[in-house]
Amino acid sequence: MIRKVHIVGAGNVGQALARVVKDVGLQEITMFSKSKTTSHLSHDLQPLLKPYDDLYKAPADLIILAVNDDRIETVAEMIPQRGQVVVHTSGSTPLDVLKKFPARGVIYPLQTFTAGHPVSWDNIPVFIEAADDLTRKRLLQFCSAFSPNCLVARSDERMKLHVSAVFVANFVNHLFVLAHQLLQENNRDFSLLMPLIRQTIDKAQQMPPIEAQTGPAVRNDLKTINKHLEMLENHPGKKEIYRLISQSIKEKQDQNEQL
């Protein structure tokens, strides 16, 4: 059983994991951060934080590296090998970055985390990878305490999941940003688009997304597309994004009709 857990990193992912593991109440949790203050932590997590240097002295059953991808290997090299399980939380970093540790793995929650916006772990898929069967069983047992949707995925599968997540979350939110800017220029509120956004999400849950596609590109309405491109003439970045996405929609629609 995993009883003592160290979480390295007090960013959004680290805080989200610390909070849900704390709420489950089955493990002893300690957080470690390079930050000298606890002001960025909520009150319930502040007592869990210890100085970063203590990480290398305190034993644990599981160490979770919730740090930026480019710091995972550096931080891992500083941790003594004491037979503990060491995992990272990255969607795009392979398991072997932790090859120093025989009992190594990945705990990748497929979700975006933002401070001040709690999430329901009942709906979050958590992907597990491990170097051996025993470590995999231990991680599945640990994660199943807070998520009913624990799945196993290899590094290459996890990378595809991560890229897919970037498309539906990071890219879609950026399109929200662009739409918000255009509406502001016309003194209109972004909330006007919310019924459309909700309907789009609802349809994505009810049918294959390609069947839900609407708009001028799927109709090959070149007259409307050209009007939009002309309107975006003074916004070259938005214009190029509009052109590329319209082209992609048309190509995918053509491919689908040929099947």
Q: Is 72 exposed, middle or buried (0-12, 13-18, 19+ CB in 10 A)?
A: buried
Q: What is the pLDDT of residue 151?
A: 98
Using the predicted structure, report yes or no on whether residue 99 has a pLDDT greater than 70.
Answer: yes
pTM > 0.85: yes
In three-state secondary structure terms, 5 is: strand
Average pLDDT over residues 95-124: 93
Model confidence at 254, in pLDDT bands (50, 70, 90)? confident
pLDDT tens-digit readout, 2-41:
999 999 998 999 999 999 999 888 789 999 988 766 677 8
| Euclidean distance between CA atoms 70 and 220, whole angstroms | 43
Q: 259 falls in which pLDDT band (50, 70, 90)?
A: low
CB atoms inside a 10 Å sphere around CB 65? 26
Taken in order 37, 40, 46, 52, the sign of the CA dihedral is negative
Q: What is the rounded distance in angstroms from the CA atom of residue 129 to the CA atom of residue 140? A: 9
Q: Which domains does the chain have, with CATH numbers?
A: 4-153 (3.40.50.720), 159-258 (1.10.1040.20)
pLDDT at 107 (0 to 100): 98
